[in-house]
Chain A
Amino acid sequence: MSFSRFRLEDVGQIGEVDVEFGDLTVLVGPQATGKSLFLQLFAHAIDSASINRTMDRYGLVWDEDLRMFLNLYLGDGMGQVWKLSGSKMYLDGKKFVPDLKVPEEDVSDRTYYVPAQRAMVFRDGWPQPFGSYSIKDPFAVRFFSERTRSFLDNPKHDMEQVFPIQGKLKEGTRDLLDRAVFHGSAISQDRSSGRRELRLSAGEGKISFMSWSTGQREFVPLLLGMYELLPGGRISRRSGVEWVILEEIEAGLHPEAVFSVMSMVLELLDRGYKVVISTHSPYVLDLLWAIRSIKGLTLSSEDKERAVCGLFDISDPAMSLKKSMSNVLDRDVRIHLLRYGQGGMVQSKEISSLDPASEDEDVSGWGGLSGYSGQVSDLVADFVSKSRRF
């Protein structure tokens, strides 16, 4: 069963955030506007059975106390976001409260959540198990860490070499990642220290995790998530998973690397996942604006494929990559801005058109992602005009 709309009222700093989902949904907005809170509650709304079962299996106890549950699920201290008299939650227009029941049997996950804190899951070059985290840490971080650890541990996945791997991701995507993030280096498992860890081979040496670039440390956990979600061979999707939620995909990454992450997002969409991302990156919206613009043009299929692949600077892409990338033109993309409104509470607004000519500055300014740069440009223009040189 797929869902199309999720609304929160009076939860934490959120006054009202009402999001209609597309195939790809993007949340933008200043810091601390509740994007992560919204996404975590959304994940629970559709995956409560599997999340509750997992939490119970790891010994977490909440005794049907909602605030206790939210402290365990969202992180210590977050229980207070739910106001017993005022907070409301709606899924597809139907009001409900977070389900706290633990099912008796395992339930497969419908969501795959990659949290913003993903670089923290690696300690000494290996993802930490769920139980090694503090009870105060958010479930999303703990579970992603456990998931990544299980994935690497499983001999079935043959993860001795993590990147590059023939057959994992399309060749054009691998080339993009190499160009943007790895620059000819390889990531593989190493046991020379007496324990397994991921190391980066550059030249003759093998570099430990904490010595990688920030972008590489942020990116590799995301890459492992993608491997799980994009299995090779004839399997197109991870069984049962419908929704992929990626927080702050641009964290620590150069714009070229951000584009390479987005190429993987297009592949997720092509495989039929519904994808939700949160971002502060104007480059993500740049890309989505470009895709929307191309979508609206009267062009041959070949030209459309060339246009989309051109956005990623992929020369001579294989047919399968061309198809999977240009399929994004058939997808519904929704973009929502979360920001503080009057009354000091966060409201949402759909800005999907990203029309630079819109009278609505939230739309034309891309929710503020371009606004600050515009202020800077205008100031420069003023002073250039004033300068004696002119």
Chain B
Amino acid sequence: MKFKNAVNDSDVFKGHCKDGLKALKGSDRNLVKAVDSRRISGSLDMDEAWRIEYPNAPRWDYCIGYDLNGGEVVYYLEVHPAETSEVSSVIEKARFLRKRMPLDAHSLWDIRRSLVWVASGRINIPPKHARKRKQLASEGIKGPERLLTLGK
């Protein structure tokens, strides 16, 4: 199923899908670039959409649909300070995402996906051999990265 249809198939997210990267807050948009911006299917502010139902939950920030050759991919983007002390927070958010998505938006969750943590400021986690990064990888999370490049 295509990204927009999948979003609208969800009772929680219906009506929240925006064109391009418009669902992202202004400053967060600067953290995303695309190999071909025409292939961006749409974006969703998940944090906002989930806020009423789960006000105290560790909500994931966004997802962005991208038409990659051979099919769509959904990038789940979390913009968060890249400090070692924040790794467990991001992991918690990923776990919440994985728990809720099959129930709240299973069509969307069924689309090929990539979870990416992009740093909201400087990256203060030592490079990629650190145990923390392996912890993130074990939870299916890439990063933290400086930028999310859609389609790379």
**A contacts, CB < 8 Å to B:** 282, 286, 289-290, 293, 356-357, 359, 364-366, 369-371, 373-374, 376-378, 380-382, 384-387, 390
Q: Is the CB of B26 closer than 8 A to any CB of chain A?
A: no
Contacts of A369 in B (CB 8 A): 127, 129
The reply to whether B142 and A381 contact each other, CB–CB distance below 8 Å, is yes
CB within 8 A of A377: which of B98, B119, B134? B134
The reply to whether B128 and A365 contact each other, CB–CB distance below 8 Å, is yes
The reply to whether B140 and A356 contact each other, CB–CB distance below 8 Å, is no
Contacts of B146 in A (CB 8 A): 357, 359
CB within 8 A of A370: which of B119, B122, B127? B127
CB within 8 A of A385: which of B82, B114, B126, B129? B114
Q: Is the CB of B113 closer than 8 A to any CB of chain A?
A: yes
Q: State in angstroms the CA–CA spacing of A187 and B126 once bound together.
A: 37
**Interface positions of B from 71 to 101, Cβ below 8 Å from A:** 82, 98
The reply to whether B137 and A356 contact each other, CB–CB distance below 8 Å, is no
**B contacts, CB < 8 Å to A:** 82, 98, 112-115, 119, 122-129, 133-134, 136-142, 146
The reply to whether B126 and A357 contact each other, CB–CB distance below 8 Å, is no
Q: State in angstroms the CA–CA spacing of A387 and B142 once bound together.
A: 15
Number of A-B contacts (CB under 8 A): 69
Whole-angstrom distance between the Cβ of A43 and the nearest chain B Cβ? 31
The reply to whether B141 and A374 contact each other, CB–CB distance below 8 Å, is no
- Per DSSP, chain B at the interface is mixed
Contacts of B140 in A (CB 8 A): 381, 384-385, 387, 390
Q: State in angstroms the CA–CA spacing of A290 and B112 once bound together.
A: 38
Contacts of A384 in B (CB 8 A): 137-140
The reply to whether B125 and A356 contact each other, CB–CB distance below 8 Å, is yes
CB within 8 A of A356: which of B115, B127, B141? B127
CB within 8 A of B128: which of A289, A374, A385, A387? A374
Contacts of B124 in A (CB 8 A): 293, 356
Contacts of A359 in B (CB 8 A): 146
Whole-angstrom distance between the Cβ of B131 and the nearest chain A Cβ? 10
What are the 5 A-B residue pairs with the smallest beta carbon separation, nearest first?
Answer: A374-B128, A370-B127, A384-B140, A373-B129, A377-B137
Whole-angstrom distance between the Cβ of B87 and the nearest chain A Cβ? 13
Given the known interface contacts A381-B115, A381-B136, A390-B140, the answer about A374 and B127 at a Cβ–Cβ threshold of 8 Å is: yes
